[in-house]
Structure 1
Amino acid sequence: MRALWLALMLCLGAGVGTAQEVAAVAQGALLRGLDKINGSAQDLELANGQSGVFGSLDVVLGECRYPQDDPAADAYAYLTISEQAGGAVIFSGWMLASSPALNALEHPRYDIWVLRCKI
């Protein structure tokens, strides 16, 4: 988890001389889900604290943040994803729009990633 936090800070340009101010919280996020079996994709637009359903997964958006100086640059969202059957949490953490593989959902059927924050 510590390595993920460090990577997040580096991706956001938190180094000396290149620091970007990050907006406290956006209104929500736009996510995309992919069903790898049938090839269908669906967008989920969620407000902070709201949940949505993609296939057999429940997706809860904690919050979405973005660089204040450049809202179109990058988004990162805190997601909790669980199976509807049984309610087991299969992902909980930050996802970055610019680097979805950095902290990705690992599921045999579904992929979910962040596209952008709702501003």
Structure 2
Amino acid sequence: MRRAALALAMLAMAVPALAQGPSQGFDQGPPAEAGWVRKRTAQLQALDKVTARITLLDATVGEAVRFGSLSITVRACSARPPDEVPDAAAFIEVRDDLLAATAPLAFRGWMLANAPAAHMLEHPVYDLRILDCR
């Protein structure tokens, strides 16, 4: 009886998450109702950990840019309006050209300017973060 009640309680907690459906998943980006504005260009900061070289990259949405062996494609870029706390979020796909073409992407997901450690590229040689969306 107790196990059934526990299972029922766990199911009740899961129902709101299931009701969101795939359209509100992680890949959808920052919600429009939260005041995000779509932009066309992302400013990225790339670090080569071996040489300590920092490079600023301007990446147009949908076009790949290169840094070392990385091919970086920004799929979406959004920023807060000027009257709110500054922040930027970009959906980024990163491929390491030194790996086989069938290898999974080195990174695929949203990066936030105000929370760079929340979801970051984990690579032995390179580091990448979003600075701004313009």
TM (norm. structure 2) is 0.70
| Residue identity matched to 1:35 | D
- Fraction of identical pairs, as percent: 32
Alignment partners' CA distance in 1, 2:84 and 2:55: 23
Distance 2:48 2:41 in 1: 23
Matched with 1:111 is 127
2:55 is the counterpart of 1:42: yes
Q: Gaps spanning 5+ residues in structure 1: where? A: none
1:94 aligns with 2:110: yes
Aligned residue identity for 2:97? Q
- The equivalent residue for 1:53 is 66
- Alpha carbons 1:21, 1:69 under 8 Å: kept: no
- CA shift, 1:72, in A, is 6.7
Looking at structure 1, the residues matched to 93 and 53 of structure 2 have their Cα atoms a distance apart, in angstroms, of 22
What residue is the counterpart of 1:64 in the other structure?
77
| Count of aligned pairs between the two proteins | 106
Does the aligned pair in 2 maintain the 1:27–1:47 contact within 8 Å? yes
- Does residue 75 of structure 1 match 2:88? yes
**1:6-45 deviation digits (Å, cap 9, x = unpaired):** xx86xx8x9xxxx74111x201100010001110011110
CA RMSD of aligned residues (A): 2.5
- Whether 2:43 is the aligned partner of 1:30: answer yes
Alignment of 1:21 onto 2:30: no
Does the C-alpha gap of structure 1 residues 93 and 70 become closer, same or farther in structure 2, counting only changes over 3 Å?
farther
Query: Unpaired segments of 5 or more residues in structure 2?
Result: 1-16, 18-24
The two structures have a TM-score, normalised by structure 1, of: 0.78
Q: Which amino acid aligns with 2:96?
A: E
- Does the 8 Å contact 1:20/1:69 carry over to 2? no
